[in-house]
């Protein structure tokens, strides 16, 4: 992962999304830029750049930051569980940290797949 290149992509996304209202619209705008960024070529780094830009646009501790952070943690946990299952490792259900009750995910991966 090249954090320096990702920071450039995040900065470019921030410049475009600063006037966009609403978290989904900001995500779509950032994803559109990051998905085709010429410096960041790995898809997962492009995704992280887009989401990171939106998180930074709202600021640490904001409800939007917390919502995105919660969804990212759930995605990371799912990825870890799937990788473990592929390796034949047992998954202990008690070790799964569920999002808070009433949490409604934005659908980051869906937005990413739909972004053109």
If one counts the domains in the chain, the total is: 1
Question: pLDDT tens digits for 71-111?
Answer: 999 888 888 778 877 888 877 767 777 788 888 999 999 99
**9 Cβ neighbours under 8 A, 6+ residues apart:** 33, 34, 37, 39, 40, 45, 46, 49, 50, 53
Nearest one of 33, 43, 44, 27 to 9, comparing CA atoms: 33
What pTM did the predictor assign? Answer: 0.87
Reduced to 3 states (helix: H, G, I; strand: E, B; else coil), residue 20 is coil
Question: pLDDT tens digits for 41-82?
Answer: 999 999 999 999 999 999 999 999 999 999 999 888 888 778
Quote the domain boundaries for residue 44.
3-114
Question: pLDDT tens digits for 8-49?
Answer: 999 999 999 989 999 999 999 999 999 988 889 999 999 999
């Amino acid at each position: 992962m090249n954090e320096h290149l990702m920071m450039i992509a995040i900065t470019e996304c921030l410049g475009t999304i600063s006037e966009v209202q609403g978290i989904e619209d900001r995500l779509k705008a950032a994803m559109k830029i990051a998905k085709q960024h010429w410096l960041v070529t790995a898809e997962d780094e492009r995704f992280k750049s887009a989401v990171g830009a939106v998180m930074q646009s709202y600021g640490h501790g904001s409800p939007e930051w917390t919502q995105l952070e919660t969804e990212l943690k759930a995605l990371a946990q799912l990825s870890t569980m799937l990788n473990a299952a592929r390796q034949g490792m047992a998954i202990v259900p008690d070790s799964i940290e569920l999002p808070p009750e009433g949490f409604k995910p934005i659908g980051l991966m869906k937005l990413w797949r739909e972004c053109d």
